[in-house]
Amino acid sequence: MDTLIFLIGFMGSGKSTLGAKLARQIGYDFVDMDQLIEETAGMTVPGIFNELGEKVFRKWEHDIVLELSLRDNLVISTGGGAPCHSDLISIMNKNGTTVYIKLPPEALAKRLLHSKTERPLIKGKSEQELLDFIHLKLKERDSYYKQATHTVDGINLQTGSLISLLEERGRQV
């Protein structure tokens, strides 16, 4: 039985908050990929994008997914772009269970407008520009996100329903 759970989904879908809660409730460890990259690099995500470029950040995402794939009893909240390059969605699916937290563009925009986290890809965008960007990116990323083992509605999502879903589908948590 694999015991790795990858939460995937767009920026602002609540992966980190839900992931930390889920891990606590099922007694698994928790890793937030962006946070791990920041700690390892000694730089913030916006700093990495600005100073080293997105390509370097994506390479580190790749390396971290490979590294985390060797672990057990772990919930991982991935960066929004992580499953969408370097065949990472297949690697995640091969080594664990992926859960796509799906939200409509309008809900994502609302959350992102109020978020305190600095995100290089959406920095400085107006509300309309943000909404247009989300529509565009979701179109690009949809073919990756929909490869997830499970897709859940992210509106009012509680960890209890995530646990039931994982249990229902044969996972012991």
Closest CB to ligand S3P among 55 and 169? 55
Site string for ligand S3P, 91-130 (x = CB under 6 A): ----------------------------xxx---------
* First-to-last C-alpha distance (Å) of the chain: 11
Q: What are the tokens at 72?
A: 């057990």
Q: In degrees rounded to 5, what are phi and psi of residue 153? A: -75, 120
- Burial label for 123, CB within 10 Å (0-12, 13-18, 19+), is exposed
What strand order describes the sheet that includes 74-77?
A: 29-32, 74-77, 4-8, 97-102, 150-153
Looking only at residues 39 through 78 of this chain, which bind ligand S3P when binding is defined by CB under 6 A?
A: 45
CB of 111 to ligand S3P, least distance (A): 10
Out of 81, 83, 96, 105, name the contact with ligand S3P by CB under 6 A.
81
Out of 28, 34, 144, 145, name the contact with ligand S3P by CB under 6 A.
34
Out of 14, 19, 79, 105, name the contact with ligand S3P by CB under 6 A.
79
Closest CB to ligand S3P among 4 and 122? 122
The rounded distance, in Å, linking the Cα atoms of 76 and 9 is: 12
Closest CB to ligand S3P among 34 and 148? 34
Closest CB to ligand S3P among 47 and 120? 120
The rounded distance, in Å, linking the Cα atoms of 46 and 6 is: 23
Nearest to 95 by CA among 105, 87, 104: 87
Residues that bind ligand S3P (CB under 6 A): 11, 34, 45, 79-81, 119-121
